[in-house]
Structure 1
Amino acid sequence: MQVSVVIAAYNAEAYLAEAIESVLGQTVPPAEVVVIDDGSTDGTRAILDHFGQRIVALNQANSGQAVAVNKGLATARGDLIGFCDADDLWTPRKLEMQLALLESNGGLEAAFGKVEQFVSPDVPQDQRERLQPAVTTLPGELKQCMLIRRSALDRFGPFDETLPATFFIAWLGRAKQNGIRMAHVDDVVVRRRLHLGNGGRVNTEAQNLETLMALRKAIKARRPPD
């Protein structure tokens, strides 16, 4: 089974190279890594150029993460799809463990794992306390923790581009409603970086509002037609 990995990046020069290296450095490497530069104005493009033919680099005008991820999926050729955020890190055996789980049970459509949250070393000391997570390690039902069969991803449809911050929450809710067959490996597969640029931790009011919108869409989709 060939794995394609999709990474959306916007003004991600601080952490992007480390994220890409964590994907390329897997004990079972992916067949391709597709990185979409979502109209960055910093040094993101130079970082992508540095990786050369080791990745597939795409560009688009700034349109949001959901649009970028959908664009990457349209290019990806693998029959298994993984995701990494531009500021997060895959643990070295993520693909090895998740591939083993999927190969041992052909009925499974997606494999998840645990996420370990850490405050980025570059966060100033006087800002670190506000970013400290209540729980460091927890089950990771996040897109960067998921490895999914392309057939299943296509079955549940594309990500909702009207929900730039919570599109995966909405998608996973829809997938669960439609019976996605998923399981978790009992190990950390992603290290989630907490820093001052995390929209969900800094702009909590906006994210909460978008989460409500996603829930309303999910409820409306479950209602029988009039």
Structure 2
Amino acid sequence: MRVSVVIAAYNAEAYIAEAIESLLGQTVPPDEVIVIDDGSTDGTRGILDGFSDRIVAFTQANSGQATAVNKGLALACGELIGFCDADDLWTPRKLELQLALLERDGAIEAAFGKVQQFVSPDVPEQHRVRLTPAVEIMPGELKQCMLIHRAALDRAGPFDETLPATFFIAWLGRAKQSGLKIAHVDDILVRRRLHLGNGGRTNTDAQNLQTLMALRKAIKAQRPPE
């Protein structure tokens, strides 16, 4: 089956090339890599153009990560879908291991694995202790760690563009409620970069509010109609 990978990028010139190379360098490479440049004002687009026909690059007006990911999904042709954040890295055997898991058990619809968090080498020394994670390696039910059958992804519906910081949390909760069958590879599949520009660290108030909104939507969806 064909594998499509979607990346949403915004002002990602520092890390996007390394992220893309980690996809193209897989032991089993994806069939297409789609990068949506979400209105970057730095050199992101120039870096994407440097990959030529090795990737599909599309630029849109800045609309948020959820909108960009949905756009990428609309362009994707694969029967299996993966994701990567513009500042993270896939380990070399990610796709190989997840494809083997999905092949062994046809009932599994989405494969996850472990995530290793690391402080980016470019972070100044005075900030490294603050960014050092309490847990380095953890189970990774994160977007960038998931490989999913397109049919299962579509069954749960598109990502909620009103929740730009927590859209994947909300989607995964909805997908599990609808019966998504998942399994985990017991290997590190993604290296999550921690740096001063991480959205989850710089926009914690927005993330907390959107998590609350996502929970309210999930509770409302479970209530029987009046």
TM-score range relative to shorter protein = over 0.9
1:137-152 matched pairs, under 5 angstroms: 137-152=137-152
Q: Percent identity?
A: 81
Q: Quick check: 47-56 or 124-133, which moved more?
A: 124-133
Name the counterpart of 1:166.
166
Counterpart AA for 1:93: R
Name the counterpart of 2:36.
36
Name the counterpart of 1:70.
70
Query: In the aligned structure 1, how far is the partner of 2:108 from the partner of 2:17?
Result: 32
Contact 1:131 1:201 in 2 (8 A): no
Name the counterpart of 2:56.
56
Contact 2:114 2:138 in 1 (8 A): yes
Counterpart AA for 1:155: R
Q: What CA RMSD, in Å, does the superposition of the two structures yield over aligned residues? A: 0.6
Q: Deviations over 1:85-131 (max 9, x none)?
A: 00000000000000000011111100000000000010111111111
1:104-115 matched pairs, under 5 angstroms: 104-115=104-115
Name the counterpart of 2:130.
130
Query: In the aligned structure 2, how far is the partner of 1:130 from the partner of 1:205?
Result: 18
Contact 1:6 1:83 in 2 (8 A): yes
Figure out how many residues of one structure are paired with residues of the other and give that number: 226
Contact 1:29 1:95 in 2 (8 A): yes
Q: Deviations over 1:128-171 (max 9, x none)?
A: 11111110000000000000000101111000000001000000
Query: In the aligned structure 2, how far is the partner of 1:203 from the partner of 1:55?
Result: 30
Query: In the aligned structure 2, how far is the partner of 1:219 from the partner of 1:129?
Result: 38
Contact 1:18 1:89 in 2 (8 A): yes
Q: Quick check: 128-137 or 76-85, which moved more?
A: 128-137
Name the counterpart of 1:103.
103
TM-score between the two structures when normalised by the length of structure 2: 0.99
Name the counterpart of 2:220.
220
Q: Quick check: 204-213 or 12-21, which moved more?
A: 204-213
Q: Matched residue of 2:51: which SS?
A: helix
Name stretches of at least 5 consecutive residues in structure 2 with no aligned partner: none
Name stretches of at least 5 consecutive residues in structure 1 with no aligned partner: none
Q: Matched residue of 1:123: which SS?
A: coil
Name the counterpart of 2:202.
202
Query: In the aligned structure 1, how far is the partner of 2:207 from the partner of 2:144?
Result: 18
